[in-house]
Structure 1
Amino acid sequence: MKTFKKFNMKSLLVRIFVIGALAIVFLGAPIKEANAQCAMCSLTAMNSVENGNTQGKTLNKGILFLLSCPFLAVGLVGFVWYKRYQDPKESQDQNPVL
Protein backbone atom coordinates (compact mmCIF):
# COMPACT_ATOMS: atom_id res chain seq x y z
CA MET A 1 0.00 0.00 0.00
CA LYS A 2 1.27 3.48 -0.84
CA THR A 3 1.71 6.00 1.90
CA PHE A 4 1.30 9.64 1.10
CA LYS A 5 3.38 12.30 2.75
CA LYS A 6 1.15 14.61 4.72
CA PHE A 7 1.73 18.30 4.34
CA ASN A 8 0.78 20.58 7.14
CA MET A 9 -0.89 23.84 6.21
CA LYS A 10 2.04 26.00 7.31
CA SER A 11 4.63 24.31 5.09
CA LEU A 12 2.23 24.27 2.15
CA LEU A 13 1.48 27.99 2.47
CA VAL A 14 5.18 28.81 2.86
CA ARG A 15 5.98 26.87 -0.30
CA ILE A 16 3.19 28.56 -2.24
CA PHE A 17 4.31 31.99 -1.01
CA VAL A 18 7.97 31.37 -1.89
CA ILE A 19 7.13 30.07 -5.36
CA GLY A 20 4.75 32.98 -5.98
CA ALA A 21 7.28 35.55 -4.76
CA LEU A 22 10.03 34.08 -6.95
CA ALA A 23 7.71 34.03 -9.96
CA ILE A 24 6.81 37.68 -9.43
CA VAL A 25 10.46 38.68 -9.03
CA PHE A 26 11.71 36.76 -12.06
CA LEU A 27 8.81 37.60 -14.35
CA GLY A 28 8.60 41.24 -13.31
CA ALA A 29 12.30 42.09 -13.21
CA PRO A 30 13.01 42.53 -16.94
CA ILE A 31 10.07 44.87 -17.47
CA LYS A 32 11.32 48.44 -17.73
CA GLU A 33 8.03 50.20 -18.39
CA ALA A 34 4.50 48.89 -18.30
CA ASN A 35 1.52 50.72 -19.74
CA ALA A 36 -1.71 50.10 -17.90
CA GLN A 37 -4.05 51.52 -20.53
CA CYS A 38 -5.64 50.43 -23.75
CA ALA A 39 -4.07 51.64 -27.00
CA MET A 40 -6.40 54.62 -27.41
CA CYS A 41 -6.01 55.78 -23.81
CA SER A 42 -2.24 55.42 -23.99
CA LEU A 43 -2.07 57.46 -27.23
CA THR A 44 -4.22 60.21 -25.70
CA ALA A 45 -2.09 60.21 -22.54
CA MET A 46 1.15 60.42 -24.57
CA ASN A 47 -0.16 63.33 -26.60
CA SER A 48 -1.24 65.17 -23.47
CA VAL A 49 2.18 64.62 -21.83
CA GLU A 50 3.93 66.01 -24.92
CA ASN A 51 1.84 69.16 -24.53
CA GLY A 52 2.94 69.58 -20.90
CA ASN A 53 0.00 67.88 -19.23
CA THR A 54 0.75 65.31 -16.47
CA GLN A 55 -2.66 63.63 -16.39
CA GLY A 56 -1.38 60.66 -18.41
CA LYS A 57 1.10 59.66 -15.71
CA THR A 58 -1.55 60.06 -13.04
CA LEU A 59 -3.99 57.95 -15.05
CA ASN A 60 -1.39 55.19 -15.40
CA LYS A 61 -0.65 55.21 -11.66
CA GLY A 62 -4.36 55.11 -10.83
CA ILE A 63 -4.94 52.09 -13.04
CA LEU A 64 -1.98 50.28 -11.48
CA PHE A 65 -3.37 51.10 -8.02
CA LEU A 66 -6.74 49.63 -8.97
CA LEU A 67 -4.97 46.55 -10.32
CA SER A 68 -3.21 45.99 -6.98
CA CYS A 69 -6.50 45.74 -5.03
CA PRO A 70 -7.38 42.17 -6.15
CA PHE A 71 -3.88 40.99 -5.25
CA LEU A 72 -4.17 42.51 -1.79
CA ALA A 73 -7.61 40.93 -1.32
CA VAL A 74 -6.30 37.47 -2.24
CA GLY A 75 -3.34 37.95 0.10
CA LEU A 76 -5.65 38.97 2.94
CA VAL A 77 -7.89 35.94 2.40
CA GLY A 78 -4.82 33.67 2.38
CA PHE A 79 -3.49 35.21 5.59
CA VAL A 80 -6.84 34.89 7.38
CA TRP A 81 -7.16 31.31 6.14
CA TYR A 82 -3.66 30.51 7.42
CA LYS A 83 -4.31 32.07 10.83
CA ARG A 84 -7.73 30.45 11.20
CA TYR A 85 -6.59 26.90 10.42
CA GLN A 86 -3.24 27.13 12.20
CA ASP A 87 -2.63 24.33 14.68
CA PRO A 88 -3.10 25.63 18.25
CA LYS A 89 -0.01 23.71 19.41
CA GLU A 90 2.14 25.51 16.84
CA SER A 91 0.94 28.93 17.96
CA GLN A 92 1.65 28.09 21.62
CA ASP A 93 5.16 26.86 20.81
CA GLN A 94 6.00 30.10 19.03
CA ASN A 95 5.10 32.23 22.06
CA PRO A 96 6.53 30.47 25.12
CA VAL A 97 5.63 31.83 28.55
CA LEU A 98 8.71 32.89 30.49
Structure 2
Amino acid sequence: MKTSLKTAFFLIVFGLMVIGTVPVKAQCAQCAAQVETNSKNGGMAAKGLNNGIMFLLAAPYLAVGVIGIIWYKKYRRKNVDMNIRSEKLNLN
Protein backbone atom coordinates (compact mmCIF):
# COMPACT_ATOMS: atom_id res chain seq x y z
CA MET A 1 0.00 0.00 0.00
CA LYS A 2 1.17 3.48 -0.70
CA THR A 3 1.82 5.88 2.14
CA SER A 4 -0.99 8.23 1.15
CA LEU A 5 -3.48 5.36 1.06
CA LYS A 6 -2.35 4.18 4.49
CA THR A 7 -2.69 7.70 5.85
CA ALA A 8 -6.17 8.11 4.39
CA PHE A 9 -7.24 4.75 5.82
CA PHE A 10 -5.88 5.70 9.25
CA LEU A 11 -7.68 9.06 9.20
CA ILE A 12 -10.97 7.43 8.19
CA VAL A 13 -10.73 4.81 10.94
CA PHE A 14 -9.70 7.42 13.52
CA GLY A 15 -12.55 9.71 12.44
CA LEU A 16 -15.08 6.90 12.77
CA MET A 17 -13.76 6.09 16.23
CA VAL A 18 -14.08 9.72 17.34
CA ILE A 19 -17.57 10.10 15.87
CA GLY A 20 -18.72 6.82 17.38
CA THR A 21 -18.05 7.78 21.00
CA VAL A 22 -20.95 7.85 23.42
CA PRO A 23 -20.76 9.84 26.66
CA VAL A 24 -21.23 7.63 29.71
CA LYS A 25 -21.45 8.09 33.45
CA ALA A 26 -18.46 6.40 35.00
CA GLN A 27 -19.84 6.26 38.54
CA CYS A 28 -22.34 3.85 39.93
CA ALA A 29 -25.76 5.34 40.67
CA GLN A 30 -25.24 5.17 44.42
CA CYS A 31 -21.91 7.03 44.31
CA ALA A 32 -23.27 9.70 41.96
CA ALA A 33 -26.34 10.28 44.17
CA GLN A 34 -24.20 10.49 47.32
CA VAL A 35 -21.81 13.05 45.80
CA GLU A 36 -24.65 15.10 44.34
CA THR A 37 -26.48 15.19 47.69
CA ASN A 38 -23.30 16.06 49.54
CA SER A 39 -22.38 18.90 47.16
CA LYS A 40 -25.90 20.38 47.38
CA ASN A 41 -25.57 20.45 51.18
CA GLY A 42 -22.24 22.28 50.97
CA GLY A 43 -19.99 19.25 51.50
CA MET A 44 -16.60 18.68 49.92
CA ALA A 45 -17.05 15.06 48.81
CA ALA A 46 -17.09 16.00 45.12
CA LYS A 47 -13.78 17.83 45.45
CA GLY A 48 -12.24 14.87 47.26
CA LEU A 49 -13.52 12.49 44.61
CA ASN A 50 -12.06 14.67 41.84
CA ASN A 51 -8.71 14.86 43.64
CA GLY A 52 -8.69 11.06 44.01
CA ILE A 53 -9.36 10.64 40.30
CA MET A 54 -6.50 13.02 39.44
CA PHE A 55 -4.17 11.12 41.78
CA LEU A 56 -5.06 7.81 40.13
CA LEU A 57 -4.56 9.41 36.71
CA ALA A 58 -1.12 10.82 37.57
CA ALA A 59 0.30 7.73 39.30
CA PRO A 60 1.10 5.69 36.14
CA TYR A 61 2.76 8.68 34.48
CA LEU A 62 4.92 9.30 37.53
CA ALA A 63 5.88 5.61 37.71
CA VAL A 64 6.91 5.54 34.04
CA GLY A 65 8.84 8.79 34.47
CA VAL A 66 10.78 7.47 37.47
CA ILE A 67 11.59 4.23 35.64
CA GLY A 68 12.73 6.26 32.62
CA ILE A 69 15.03 8.44 34.72
CA ILE A 70 16.55 5.40 36.43
CA TRP A 71 17.06 3.66 33.08
CA TYR A 72 18.67 6.78 31.58
CA LYS A 73 21.07 7.25 34.47
CA LYS A 74 22.00 3.57 34.59
CA TYR A 75 22.56 2.89 30.89
CA ARG A 76 23.89 6.15 29.44
CA ARG A 77 27.43 6.04 28.15
CA LYS A 78 30.16 7.83 30.05
CA ASN A 79 33.70 8.65 28.92
CA VAL A 80 33.36 7.03 25.50
CA ASP A 81 36.41 7.30 23.26
CA MET A 82 35.28 8.22 19.74
CA ASN A 83 38.47 7.00 17.96
CA ILE A 84 38.32 9.73 15.31
CA ARG A 85 41.31 9.99 13.00
CA SER A 86 43.24 13.24 13.27
CA GLU A 87 44.15 13.43 9.58
CA LYS A 88 42.02 15.43 7.16
CA LEU A 89 39.67 13.65 4.79
CA ASN A 90 39.98 14.19 1.04
CA LEU A 91 36.51 14.08 -0.48
CA ASN A 92 37.57 14.43 -4.14
Report the TM range for the smaller structure's normalisation: 0.3 to 0.5
Tell which structure's C-alpha radius of gyration is larger: 2
> Normalised by the size of structure 1, how large is the TM-score?
0.45
Q: Which has the higher contact order (CA 8 A, sep 6+)?
A: 1
As a proportion of its length, which structure holds more helix? Answer: 1
